[in-house]
Structure formats: C-alpha cells, structure tokens
Copies of this chain bind each other. A is one copy, B any other.
C-alpha cells in the first residue's frame, strides 16, 4: 500500500493504538519515542496518524521582519497526510496554533497538529473536529512573542526527538513518533500483538490468575 496515502493512515488509525505501538518499539530497543504525558488532545476522541512536518519556534521580543514567514511556507507546501509538529521550546507565553491555521491545514489534506506548546481558538477547532494535541490553551497570539525559526529540521517534542517524515500516532493515551527506518516492522508487529491482547482480556475478565495468564501469554 502507498505509505503516503490516506488509506494507509486511516488503516492504522482504525486498527492500532498508541500503547501497542509503544510496546513494539520498546521490544525493538526504541525506548524514547513517547512524548511527555503533558501533551494532551483538545477533545476526547481526537486521533492522529500521519507524517511529521516539523517546525522549531523560539521566543522573540520584537516583531520579526517577515512575521509568520516560515509557518506560511510550511503550510502552503504541506503534503496531504502530513501532521504539523511544532515545539515552542518550553515557552508558554503564547499559542503557535489556532483556528484559521487548522481550517487551512484541513483544506490541504493535513491530518492534525501536535504542539510542544499551546494552541488557541479552541471552540473553532473543536467545532470542525480538527485534531490538535498540545500542552494547553491560551488566548495569547504568537505575534511578537514566538516565531518559527526553522522548518523541516529535527526537533524535540515532549522529550522525543522527531524527524521530518516520522510517522506520528496520537490518541487519548498520548503521542508518539515512529522513525521511518522501523515503520514497516513496527506496524506489522503491532497488528499481531493486538490479536493476542483480545484473547487475554477475555480470560482475565473471567477471573483467572494474572500470574497464570502472564506465564501462558507473556502479556500484562
């Protein structure tokens, strides 16, 4: 299947979830791929599967010569299936995302936004069910407070090193990044693991010993 198609991303979104993907990456030795638990969805059933389009933002204290220049470049050149990923490097002075950017990104085939930072215009975004994951909300605009300094570079988000093009998966449990080098293996193994868990769940619901189940299935 075309790994840049909506079908591919939708398939993962319907059949997998972050916890099982995180487990498979652990087994492969990729143990630092889950972002901080402080990055949360804007609404409860928000989910994202897509490819990272990265932005590095920094605080500024005067209006840049060309405000929003790199954001606009990234968004106008966004490839369908991408997920806007932006770090504010710890700053919570302002929001780097909002409703108009969400409307535009959806129109261009973007699948969501993950921020190690803040968003605003929550009502508008929730209204169109555009999935945003962030540290929080603020009415404060980024203009003159925070500006994007580089795009399509490696960034750190919630403790995870994210490269442009990484597969981003986000649901109510949290957000993680799958490096492209291991993507095929991770997806394949995660699909297998999901089946196993369904079996164990039924056995435990019937009151079985957890020690026995772990011994028999190796799953907890």
Contacts and interface: CB of A to CB of B under 8 A. Distances in A.
**Interface size classification for chain A:** 35 or more
Contacts of A171: 123
A107 B139 CA distance: 30
This chain: copies in complex = 6
A211 B34 contact: no
Interface in A187-202: 197, 200-201
A61 B156 CA distance: 7
Contacts of A213: 104
Contact of A197 (B21, B100, B144, B172): B100
Given A61-B154, A89-B90, A101-B210, 12 more contacts: A17-B139, A19-B98, A26-B144, A31-B145, A59-B89, A59-B156, A72-B211, A76-B209, A76-B210, A100-B210, A103-B204, A106-B205
Interface of A: 17-19, 21-23, 26, 31, 34, 36-38, 40, 56, 58-62, 68, 71-73, 75-76, 89-92, 98-101, 103-104, 106-108, 118, 120-124, 135-141, 143-145, 149-150, 153-156, 161, 171-174, 176, 197, 200-201, 204-211, 213-214, 219-220
